[in-house]
Amino acid sequence: MEVFRHHIYEFQKGLRSLILHTAPASDVPEIVRTLEAHGIAYKLSYLSNGHVNVFFGHPDCIAVLEIFGSKSLSDYSKEEDFILGIMLGYGRLEECRRYITLSEKERSRMECAAD
């Protein structure tokens, strides 16, 4: 929970607009209580391994995630993956490179399927 509290600090200081925190599902009640006490918007995504991805931050960022739906991160389209990376504050150039790589892999798969 120490890392979670640090994430809240970073959000409150304006260092990040969206945070992704992964925690054991057993921590959810305390996490939700804390986020609601601070008036912070959040979205929970339960994982098959007994953990939960907790997205929290600016309401507009959470609204974008709601538009994406409740699918797993591994099921995000390359565009959704790119948007999420930018919202989480990952390096723009690295996200551009990742998007290009994913696009090239997709193009290669499509070409192989057409043959």
Model-level pTM?
Answer: 0.88
pLDDT in tens, 40-86: 999 999 999 999 999 999 999 999 999 999 888 989 999 999 999 99
Output the pLDDT for position 44: 97
Neighbours of 65 (CB within 10 A): 21
**What's the burial of 14, exposed, middle or buried (CB within 10 Å: 0-12/13-18/19+)?**
exposed
What CA–CA distance (Å, rounded) separates 1 from 7?
10
pLDDT at residue 8, as a whole number:
96
pLDDT of residue 111: 81
Distances (CA, A) of 62 to 43, 44, 70, 72, 91: 7, 10, 12, 15, 20
Number of domains observed in the structure of the chain? 2
Beta-ladder partners of 44: 54
Domain that holds residue 87: 76-115
Residue 12, amino acid:
Q
pLDDT tens digits for range 23-42: 999 999 999 999 999 999 99
> 52, 70, 88: which is the final residue of a domain?
70
Both tokens of 68, joined, read 């994406």
Same domain, 14 and 33: yes
**Do both 16 and 39 map to the same domain?**
yes
* CATH number where 49 lies: 3.30.2190.10
Same domain? 10 vs 55: yes
The rounded mean pLDDT for the chain is 94
Do 99 and 78 form a contact (C-beta atoms < 8 A)?
A: yes
Same domain, 97 and 43: no
